[in-house]
Chain A
Amino acid sequence: MAIINRVFATACFLLFSAGSVHAGLPIQHWQTASGSEVYFVENHALPILDISVGFAAGSSHDSRDKAGLASLTQHMLMQGAAGMSDEEISRRLADIGAKLGGDVDPDRAGLSLRTLSSPRESTQALELLGKILQHPDFPEAVLEREKTRIISGLREAATQPESIADKAFNAALYGGHPYGVVEASEPETVAALKRNDLVDFYHAYYHADGAVIALIGDVSREGAAQIAESLSGGLPNGGKPVNMLPPVPFPEAGKEVRIPHPASQSHILLGYPGIKRGDADYFPLYVGNYILGGGGFVSRLTEEVREKRGLVYSVYSYFMPLAELGPFQIGLQTKREQADQSLKLVREVLEKFITGGPTEQELTAAKQNIIGGFPLRIDSNGKILEYLAVIGFYHLPLTYLDDFNGKVAKVTTAQIKDAFARRIKPDNMVTVVVGGESDK
Chain B
Amino acid sequence: MPKRCLLFLLALLPASAFADIQEFKLPNGLKVIVQEDHRSPVVVSQIWYKTGSIDEFNGTTGVAHVLEHMMFKGTKKVPAGQFSRLIAAAGGRENAFTGNDYTAYFQQLEKSKLPLAFRLEADRMANLQLSTGEFAKEIRVVMEERRSRTEDNPQAQVGEQFNTAAYQVHPYGRPVIGWMNDLEHMKVDDARAWYHRWYAPNNATLVVVGDVDPQQVLKLAKQYFGPIKPQLLPLRKPQSEPEQKGERRVTVKAPAKLPYLLMGYHVPALKDPDHDWEPFALEILAGVLDGNASARLNQNLVRRDQIAIDVSDSYDLIQRDRQSMFVVDGTPSEGRTVSDLEYALLDEIERIKEDGVTEQELQRVKAQVIAADVYQRDSMFYQAMQIGRLETTGLPWKFLKDYPARLQTVTPEQVQAVARKYLTGDNLTVAVLDPQPIDENKPKHKEVTHGHN
Residues in B115-158 with C-beta less than 8 Å from chain A: 136-145, 147-149, 151-152, 155-156, 158
Q: Which residue of B lies closest to A79 (CB)?
A: B303
B257 lies within 8 A of A3 (CB): no
Q: Pick the contact of B5: A12, A265, A335, A337 (CB < 8 A).
A: A12
Segment at the A interface, from B87-95, B223-231, B347-355: B87-95
Residues in A1-34 with C-beta less than 8 Å from chain B: 1-13
Q: Which residue of A lies closest to B39 (CB)?
A: A45
Judge whether B8 is part of the interface by a CB distance below 8 angstroms: yes
Judge whether B447 is part of the interface by a CB distance below 8 angstroms: yes
Judge whether A308 is part of the interface by a CB distance below 8 angstroms: yes
Judge whether B251 is part of the interface by a CB distance below 8 angstroms: no
Judge whether A344 is part of the interface by a CB distance below 8 angstroms: no
Q: Pick the contact of B149: A8, A160, A297, A365 (CB < 8 A).
A: A8
Judge whether B445 is part of the interface by a CB distance below 8 angstroms: yes
Q: Which residue of A lies closest to B41 (CB)?
A: A375
Give chain B residues whose Cβ lies under 8 Å from the Cβ of A9: 1-2, 6-9, 97
Judge whether A153 is part of the interface by a CB distance below 8 angstroms: yes
Give bound CA distance, A264 to B149, whole Å.
11
Give chain B residues whose Cβ lies under 8 Å from the Cβ of A263: 151-152, 255, 443-444
B7 lies within 8 A of A333 (CB): no
Give bound CA distance, A313 to B156, whole Å.
17
Give bound CA distance, A9 to B106, whole Å.
14
Q: Mark A399-423, 1 if CB is under 8 A from B, else 0.
A: 0000000000000000000000000
- Assuming the A-B contacts A94-B293, A94-B368, are A312 and B141 also in contact, with contact meaning beta carbons closer than 8 angstroms in the complex? yes
Judge whether A127 is part of the interface by a CB distance below 8 angstroms: no
Judge whether A123 is part of the interface by a CB distance below 8 angstroms: no
Give bound CA distance, A150 to B147, whole Å.
27
Q: Mark A82-96, 1 if CB is under 8 A from B, else 0.
A: 000011001101111
B151 lies within 8 A of A264 (CB): yes
Judge whether A355 is part of the interface by a CB distance below 8 angstroms: no
B448 to chain A, nearest CB (A): 11
Segment at the A interface, from B271-279, B394-402, B434-442: B434-442
- Assuming the A-B contacts A3-B162, A156-B256, are A264 and B136 also in contact, with contact meaning beta carbons closer than 8 angstroms in the complex? no
Q: Pick the contact of B440: A47, A93, A261, A296 (CB < 8 A).
A: A261
Judge whether A438 is part of the interface by a CB distance below 8 angstroms: no
- Assuming the A-B contacts A7-B97, A374-B91, are A262 and B364 also in contact, with contact meaning beta carbons closer than 8 angstroms in the complex? no
B102 to chain A, nearest CB (A): 8
- Assuming the A-B contacts A96-B371, A306-B141, are A264 and B445 also in contact, with contact meaning beta carbons closer than 8 angstroms in the complex? yes
B316 lies within 8 A of A4 (CB): yes
Q: Mark B149-172, 1 if CB is under 8 A from A, else 0.
A: 101100110110011000000001
Give chain B residues whose Cβ lies under 8 Å from the Cβ of A313: 141-142, 144-145, 147-148
A135 to chain B, nearest CB (A): 19
B85 lies within 8 A of A264 (CB): no
Number of interface residues of B (CB under 8 A): 108
B256 lies within 8 A of A46 (CB): no
Segment at the B interface, from A206-214, A239-247, A377-385: A377-385
Give bound CA distance, A374 to B40, whole Å.
11
Q: Which residue of B lies closest to A12 (CB)?
A: B5
B440 lies within 8 A of A265 (CB): no
A94 lies within 8 A of B292 (CB): yes
A414 to chain B, nearest CB (A): 22
Judge whether A341 is part of the interface by a CB distance below 8 angstroms: no
Give bound CA distance, A95 to B139, whole Å.
49
B151 lies within 8 A of A379 (CB): no
A378 lies within 8 A of B314 (CB): no
A373 to chain B, nearest CB (A): 4
Judge whether B243 is part of the interface by a CB distance below 8 angstroms: no
Q: Mark A368-397, 1 if CB is under 8 A from B, else 0.
A: 111111111011111000000000000000
Q: Which residue of A lies closest to B110 (CB)?
A: A375
B2 lies within 8 A of A7 (CB): yes
- Assuming the A-B contacts A87-B303, A381-B378, are A335 and B144 also in contact, with contact meaning beta carbons closer than 8 angstroms in the complex? yes
Residues in B224-265 with C-beta less than 8 Å from chain A: 255-258, 262, 264
Q: Mark A122-153, 1 if CB is under 8 A from B, else 0.
A: 00000000000000000000100100110111
Q: Pick the contact of A298: B80, B85, B333 (CB < 8 A).
A: B85
A→B interface (CB under 8 Å): 1-13, 45-48, 86-87, 90-91, 93-99, 114-116, 121, 142, 145, 148-149, 151-153, 155-156, 158-161, 260-265, 295-298, 303, 306-314, 333-337, 365, 368-376, 378-382, 437
In the assembled complex, 29 residue pairs joining A and B whose CB atoms fall closer than 8 Å, in A order, are A2-B314, A6-B101, A7-B99, A10-B148, A13-B4, A46-B377, A47-B374, A91-B364, A94-B292, A95-B363, A95-B367, A148-B333, A159-B435, A262-B439, A263-B152, A264-B443, A265-B144, A296-B4, A310-B136, A310-B453, A312-B144, A313-B145, A333-B147, A335-B143, A335-B447, A365-B85, A372-B91, A376-B108, A380-B380
Closest 7 CB pairs of A and B: A372-B91, A97-B371, A8-B1, A260-B440, A9-B6, A310-B140, A6-B99
Given contacts A159-B435, A373-B110, A380-B380, 9 further A-B contacts (CB under 8 A): A11-B6, A46-B378, A48-B374, A148-B333, A296-B84, A310-B140, A313-B148, A369-B91, A379-B380
